[in-house]
Amino acid sequence: MKYLAIAFCFVTQMCSAQELALIKLSKEEVNKNIQYHFSQESTEGHLAAIDLFLFKDQTFEYSIASNVYQAYSIGRWKLDNNKITLNSDFQDGTLPINVSYRQRDSSDLDVKQIAFVRDLNQKILSYAFVHINNDSTSCMDGDLLCTGKYKQIDRVKIALENNGPSSKWINVMPQDGLLQITVLTNRNLKNYIILKNKKYAFENTKLRQLGDK
């Protein structure tokens, strides 16, 4: 985990200001209603590339690709006084989930009380942590691997790995069967990062990252 944190800090360059260059749109990008494409490449130590696509409908796609780390985010952007602000669709406490109980089946392996977390595609989310009753007690892969102890499940929330989005706490009424938590999205959220009020100054043919406020 420490290695991932260091790699994330280096590759995203969140330890220093980003400066993204404006890229001429290809015909294909124009057809996708992209308004601006900004990019940055770095070869200092590790090959890394950052791409920011701003669409005409005020949505954005932000991605990081390197030989040590990959991440992305989607959300909304706005331009005000030559400043662009990015806010991801999923933030802390906004990840939509459903909590229910169901009967055990052959896919549940050796889980005890909590089934594998799934999305709307029924895909298992191996990168999702289930927090139980408090932030210091959590499990992954259902409840196969847990930190902390609990006697009864009174409430749960989901948090995605590497400081990804989380849900609100959901109260639970114990019932027979396995606790099934479903993240209410079809989108693959592995390596999803949160951008909150991330600001850039729009300076001619480049974006310069501004400090967080």
The string of pLDDT tens digits covering residues 23-81 is: 999 999 999 999 999 999 875 666 789 999 999 999 999 999 988 889 999 999 999 99
Integer Cα distance of 38 and 157 in angstroms: 36
- pLDDT bin (cut points 50, 70, 90) of residue 20 is very high
Give domain limits for the chain. 2-90+192-209, 97-183
The whole-number pLDDT of residue 174 equals 86
Q: What is the mean pLDDT of residues 4-21?
A: 56
Integer Cα distance of 139 and 123 in angstroms: 18
Residue 9 has pLDDT above 90, yes or no: no
- pLDDT bin (cut points 50, 70, 90) of residue 109 is confident
Residue 15 has pLDDT above 60, yes or no: no
Q: What is the mean pLDDT of residues 186-200?
A: 96
Phi, psi of 22 (to 5 degrees): -75, 130
- Class of the CATH-defined domain 97-183: mainly beta
pTM: 0.83
